[in-house]
Amino acid sequence: MRLIKYVKEWHRHAQEHVAFTHVSDEDPDWEPFWGSRLMRVRQRYEHDTNAMNEDARACEDVGLIWAATTNVQNTSFWLFFEALRDPELRERLLEEVSACKVSNPADGTSAFDVKKLTVQPLLQSTYAEVLRLYQ
């Protein structure tokens, strides 16, 4: 019950700082209050449909976060394992991922273009194969 309480506090805090009722394709994929745009889209849908109360939304988010964390850890391990085990695969993956890096000369930081990452054919096929073999 304590975890649900904290998720509801997070929802309230995020709602105070970022509007979730108007989410567009131009919005960033990530922001510091809601995190992933997926969370804002889900909040908007649940708000617009009035299908769930505050407790139900918090419970659903706990389930989503739990499942995502569980899958990410295992999948990341096996993807790295396979890439490290096969030097040719590793080099080809590095080429694809490197092409998605975006540098910001103003402050010297860099990040990855997530939309571009999600359409890299070898990265996607390796991810799918890891899920098939190990999940």
Q: Domain check: are 90 and 60 in the same one? A: no
- What residue numbers bound the domain in which 106 lies? 86-135
Q: Domain check: are 61 and 91 in the same one? A: no
State how many domains the chain has: 2
Q: Domain check: are 97 and 54 in the same one? A: no
pTM, two decimals, is 0.64
For residue range 30-82, list pLDDT tens digits in order.
889 999 889 999 999 988 899 899 999 999 999 999 888 888 889 999 999 99
For residue range 4-26, list pLDDT tens digits in order.
999 999 999 999 999 888 888 88
Q: Domain check: are 54 and 94 in the same one? A: no
Q: 35: left (phi > 0), else alpha (psi -120 to 50), else beta?
A: left
Q: 63 in a domain, yes or no?
A: yes
Q: Domain check: are 14 and 61 in the same one? A: yes
Q: Domain check: are 10 and 56 in the same one? A: yes
